Amino acid sequence: MGESHLTTGSFTGRATPSLGKAGASRDPSALLVGGFNRLTGILDVVEAQIKKRLPDRIIEDVIALQREYRCLVWAVEAVQFQAFLFSELVRRSAILGVPVPARPVTPHTDKILRIESLQPHIKNGLIRLHPSQTTLIEQLRHFPKADHDDGRMRCTCSGSSPQAAPGKRADLSAYRAGHRPLMTITRAHQDG
């Protein structure tokens, strides 16, 4: 990706460093990067990394994404152990010379309401996903019955428009052909 997408927008990131329960039922962590086009008001989710990983790996992956996209801000969930991970992320990224502009967030509204609030933006093509982002697409398609909701929850924060500030500009035209509005994705519980 790199320098090829510089022109009409800005990148923002969202991280949910989930450890949850041990074993197979443990929630995956979710790292999303959205490219917001200020001219069109469209948010293209350009990265949706949703998988189980250890805290050190979460920090490494966020730093790698920051190195590539130079996000204006990262919203990092900071509940319980995540508050420590947040401070470690900020500390380590500064040491490596890739400071992550992280902002701690603590969700205060109903989870279902936050996820459902995405629907009009997705239906109207204002939030677009790439077909390769299968985990996130499946979580959206099967809401609220999917095994995990980590990607869906990250999307709820990624949609906020970034403030004008220095950072990497995003030419999202490279993603246009692969992105599609999720109008055809229906929630599993709509008919029941």
pLDDT value of position 72: 96
Evaluate whether 178 touches 132 at the Cβ level (below 8 Å): yes
Domain membership flag for residue 191: no
Residue 120 lies in a domain: yes
Q: Helices 150-158 and 134-141 sit at what angle, rounded to 10 degrees?
A: 100
> Is residue 63 in some structural domain?
yes
How much is the pLDDT for 106? 86
Stronger pLDDT, 82 or 152, i.e. the higher one: 82
pLDDT at 176: 40
Rounded distance between C-alpha atoms, residue 140 and residue 58, angstroms = 23
19-52 pLDDT, tens per residue? Answer: 655 556 667 899 999 999 989 999 999 999 999 9
**Reported pTM:** 0.72
In a domain, 192, yes or no: no
- Whether a cis peptide bond, with omega within 30° of 0, leads into 144 is yes
The pLDDT, as a whole number, for residue 8 is 65
Report yes or no on 148 lying in a domain.
yes
pLDDT tens digits, one per residue of 75-112: 998 887 788 899 999 999 999 999 999 999 987 777 78
Residue at 152 is within a domain: yes
Evaluate whether residue 143 is within a structural domain. Answer: yes
- Domain count of the chain? 1
Within a domain: 116: yes
Structural domain of residue 171, as residue ranges?
Answer: 2-184
Select from 108, 4, 91, 88 the least CA-distant residue to 46. 4
How far is residue 163's CA from residue 31's CA, in Å, rounded to a whole number? Answer: 20
As a whole number of angstroms, the distance between CA 93 and CA 64 comes to 10
CATH number of the domain that residue 173 is part of: 3.30.420.240
